[in-house]
Amino acid sequence: MEQKIAVAVDDLTVAYNYKPVLWDIDLSIPEGVLMAIVGPNGAGKSTLIKSILGIIDPIAGSVAVYGKPYKKQRDKVAYVPQKGSVDWDFPTTALDVVMMGTYGALGWIKRPGAKQKKQALEALEKVGMLAFKGRQISQLSGGQQQRIFLARALVQNAAIYFMDEPFQGVDATTEIAIINILKELRKAGKTVIVVHHDLQTVPEYFDWVTFLNVKHIATGPVKDIFNDDNLTKTYGINYKVAVQK
Amino acid sequence: MELIDFFTDYTLRTITLGTAVLGAICGMLGSFAVLRKQSLLGDAISHAALPGIALAFLFTGLKDSNVLLLGALISGFIGTVWIRGIVTKTHLKTDTALGLILSLFFGFGELVLSYLKKQPDANQAGLDKYLFGQAATLVQSDVIVMIIVTGISLVVMLLFWKEFKLLLFDKNYAMTLGFNTRFIDGLISFFIVLAIVIGLQTVGVVLMSAMLLAPAAAARQWTNSLGTMVILAAVFGTFSGVFGTGISASYNNLSTGPVIVLVAAVFVGVSFIFSPSRGVLFKQIRLIRNRRDLELKKTLYFMYGIVEKHEDISRPHSIKILNGFQGFTRGTLKTLSDKSWITIKGQDWSLTEEGFQTAANLYNTNMPES
């Protein structure tokens, strides 16, 4: 079966100061997969997503989305940042944050109207947060804040979703709710790329996986490549301790 | 000074209008500075403006406030750019960069001022007013400049409202949506510098940052909406300007800048204490109330535990058996019976049907939604 390539990363190298964080990454992600990016702390997982999205300037390399440079394809890509990356005490409501997902399509200066509000409300409903639409965001629990971020990305109605640790600090119910939404996205033909920490749930949640530790180690279907060999290459000989907890 | 002078005295009217407009623009743009967590940037910029004023006078020999403020604007900008440069190019953190630039520029400004003071002609007299501000020197043309700048920044703020909000809340996300965050960032910085510079004559470099931050900090206490916060901050700023001018005019020798800043500080103090949701006072009251309520419910639950073991829930029990339970007082018993959760007869108490039901359902309410 010939699959379209959703995201192609070519020779990507990123460094903070002198130390390379990502070294010569080549990666192609086929359309329609639900993919985990795994690797130890400091492996450059978040950096990979951020440099694909142009938030971090790479030293070298290029990123193509459906064959064209990412900058021309922004409307096809949605992003869920780490929950801790923003100040949740900002004076705004849940609905307002979700509305931000419509800003990209609106462009400069134009204001969101009834149509955008409707989209935002629909997304809130999808993540089970409609009842909290008027809530000040600091008064939401960690799991609820994560759902708000997810809703904001859903509003973008993109083809490709990048998520940075969406399961971090959420309870078991929220984790199930989120993974169900991700699986729905895949069913709808979207490509979902998730920075993930819990190795145990990889086979259960995802169908593709990328192993990363500064260098790219392997990418492929979970059933083919999620094995001792790649885990050892990524985490070192002691990875089993991490898996078994 | 009579109240009526306020409306008849031309000079006072000009000054009052000027400080009111200044308060409004500072409150408005100060909200962005506070939310961007760059409160101290305002302080650094205003201090950095001083050498600009001194050098502008040195080179032009003019004391026209527009010329001097143009100098202030330029050196304020250079200061801002240097702060950014230090933060991005070195390992120094923002607070260090702010402190460095603030004292470096201020020191240089003082140096040039002291050089000017040694000059034989007395022409330079009056430049000192930019240190602490002197609202009395405001003339109509100054106020017109203030109004124009305020108008422009209001229009820009309304146009780019969505972009400003997005940038302040989540800059990285704004980038992925395709917005030029450097442009938006620069726009906000530009108008903050502008607001600082037009306030220098009135409030002075030393106190200017309070003018920027105090109304915004006060406004944040009262609302959880960005729009309301900006409007409230502008209102607080305006009132600080008007009251400050009024007070300083009533007592002849008080300088206006410090009085305005003190009035703004009163707004902050009142807001910190009395705001219903974030204020210290109501927080404390809520805390005490919640504790009492919890104490009451714990007692009720303890009683429920005793009653549960018997078939007849209304069976009386001795008050003495409660003695082993901490947190129970005569007062609690009385409140419980006032709520008709229990009845007291002599030395005995018994649960009512209502009390039994309440206790049975007490801790079932914390189930997650959905």
CATH number of the domain at B331, please.
Answer: 1.10.10
Give contacts of A111 with chain B, Cβ < 8 Å.
161-162
The predicted pLDDT at position B369 comes to: 43
Q: How many domains does chain B have?
A: 2
Domain shared by B175 and B313, yes or no: no
Domain shared by B140 and B48, yes or no: yes
Cross-chain Cβ contact A91/B225 below 8 Å: yes
Give contacts of A136 with chain B, Cβ < 8 Å.
224
Residues A203 and A36: their CA atoms lie apart, in Å, by: 10
B29, B191 contact by CB (below 8 A): yes
Domain shared by B216 and B312, yes or no: no
Among A90, A91, A173, whose Cβ lies nearest the Cβ of B368?
A173
* Within-domain flag for B292: yes
Task: For residues B190-205, give the mean pLDDT.
Answer: 91
Token pair in block for residue B206: 């030393």
Mutate to test the interface with B, among A92, A126, A145, A155 (most CBs of B within 10 A): A92
* Within-domain flag for B370: no
Cross-chain Cβ contact B170/A85 below 8 Å: yes
Report ipTM (2 d.p.).
Answer: 0.94
Domain shared by B25 and B138, yes or no: yes
* Whether residue A129 has pLDDT greater than 90: yes
* Within-domain flag for B233: yes
Nearest residue on chain A to B164, alpha-carbon basis: A109
**Among the listed ranges A216-230, B67-81, B354-368, which one has the minimum average pLDDT value?**
B354-368
Q: Maximum distance among all alpha carbons in chain A?
A: 56
The predicted pLDDT at position A193 comes to: 97
How confident is residue B368, by pLDDT bands cut at 50, 70 and 90? very low
The predicted pLDDT at position B120 comes to: 76
Task: For residues B48-65, give the mean pLDDT.
Answer: 90
Domain shared by B252 and B288, yes or no: no
Neighbours of B13 (CB within 10 A): 15
The predicted pLDDT at position B122 comes to: 60
DSSP secondary structure string for all residues of B187-200: HHHHHHHHHHHHHH
**Last residue in a domain, options B276, B293, B316:** B276
Domain shared by B200 and B136, yes or no: yes
pTM: 0.87
How confident is residue A156, by pLDDT bands cut at 50, 70 and 90? very high
Give contacts of B229 with chain A, Cβ < 8 Å.
91
Q: What is the pLDDT of residues B135-181, one digit of tens each?
A: 888 889 999 999 999 999 999 999 999 999 999 999 999 999 999 99
* Whether residue B20 has pLDDT greater than 50: yes
* Within-domain flag for B367: no
The predicted pLDDT at position A55 comes to: 94
Q: How far is A55 from chain B (nearest CA, A)?
A: 6
Among A55, A74, A96, whose Cβ lies nearest the Cβ of B178?
A74
Q: What is the pLDDT of residues A97-124, one digit of tens each?
A: 999 999 999 999 999 999 999 999 999 9
Token pair in block for residue B160: 């780019």
Cross-chain Cβ contact B179/A90 below 8 Å: no
Give contacts of A124 with chain B, Cβ < 8 Å.
none
Domain shared by B127 and B248, yes or no: yes
The predicted pLDDT at position B6 comes to: 59
Give contacts of A18 with chain B, Cβ < 8 Å.
none
The predicted pLDDT at position A2 comes to: 56
**Last residue in a domain, options B214, B246, B276:** B276
* Residue ranges in A110-236 assigned as alpha helix (H): 114-126, 142-155, 172-187, 202-205, 222-225, 228-235
The predicted pLDDT at position B281 comes to: 92
* Whether residue B200 has pLDDT greater than 70: yes
A193, A163 contact by CB (below 8 A): yes
Collapse the DSSP code of B120 into the 3-class scheme (helix H, G, I; strand E, B; otherwise coil) and give the result.
coil
Count Cβ atoms within 10 A of the Cβ of residue B122 and give its class: 0-12 exposed, 13-18 middle, 19 or more buried. exposed
Kindly report the CATH number assigned to the domain that includes residue B54.
Answer: 1.10.3470.10
Neighbours of B8 (CB within 10 A): 9
User: Strand runs (DSSP E) across chain B, as ranges?
Assistant: 317-318, 342-345, 348-351
**Last residue in a domain, options B230, B261, B276:** B276
Among B172, B229, B370, whose Cβ lies nearest the Cβ of A55?
B172
Domain shared by B239 and B157, yes or no: yes
* Whether residue A46 has pLDDT greater than 80: yes
Q: How far is B82 from chain A (nearest CA, A)?
A: 20
The B-side interface with A (CB below 8 A) comprises 35, 37, 159-163, 165-166, 168-170, 172-179, 220, 223-226, 228-229, 368-370
Nearest residue on chain B to A113, alpha-carbon basis: B162
> What average pLDDT does the structure give for chain B?
88
DSSP secondary structure string for all residues of A46-86: HHHHHHHTTSS--SEEEEEETTEEGGG-GGGEEEE--GGGS
Task: For chain B, report the end-to-end CA distance as a whole number of angstroms.
Answer: 66
- Going by C-beta distance under 8 Å and a sequence separation of 6 or more, which residues neighbour residue B127? B53, B54, B57, B63, B68, B113, B116
Domain shared by B172 and B120, yes or no: yes
Domain that holds residue B172: 3-276
Mutate to test the interface with A, among B32, B172, B230 (most CBs of A within 10 A): B172
Q: How far is B79 from chain A (nearest CA, A)?
A: 25
* Top-confidence residue, B79 or A242: B79
* Within-domain flag for B113: yes
The predicted pLDDT at position B18 comes to: 94
**Among the listed ranges A165-174, A199-208, B287-296, B307-316, which one has the minimum average pLDDT value?**
B307-316
Domain shared by B226 and B130, yes or no: yes
The predicted pLDDT at position A14 comes to: 94
How confident is residue B5, by pLDDT bands cut at 50, 70 and 90? low
**Among the listed ranges A14-23, A79-88, B96-105, B164-173, which one has the minimum average pLDDT value?**
A14-23
> What average pLDDT does the structure give for chain A?
92
Task: For residues B333-348, give the mean pLDDT.
Answer: 84
A138, A88 contact by CB (below 8 A): yes
How confident is residue A72, by pLDDT bands cut at 50, 70 and 90? very high
Among A81, A91, A112, whose Cβ lies nearest the Cβ of B170?
A81
Task: For residues B213-225, give the mean pLDDT.
Answer: 95
* Within-domain flag for B301: yes
* Within-domain flag for B193: yes
If we measure between CA atoms, which residue out of A1, A55, A42, A51 comes closest to residue A24?
A51
Instruction: Please report the number of interchain residue pairs, chain A to chain B, with beta-carbon separation below 8 angstroms.
Output: 84
Domain shared by B323 and B189, yes or no: no
* Within-domain flag for B216: yes
Give contacts of B172 with chain A, Cβ < 8 Å.
50, 55, 79, 81, 85
Domain shared by B73 and B215, yes or no: yes
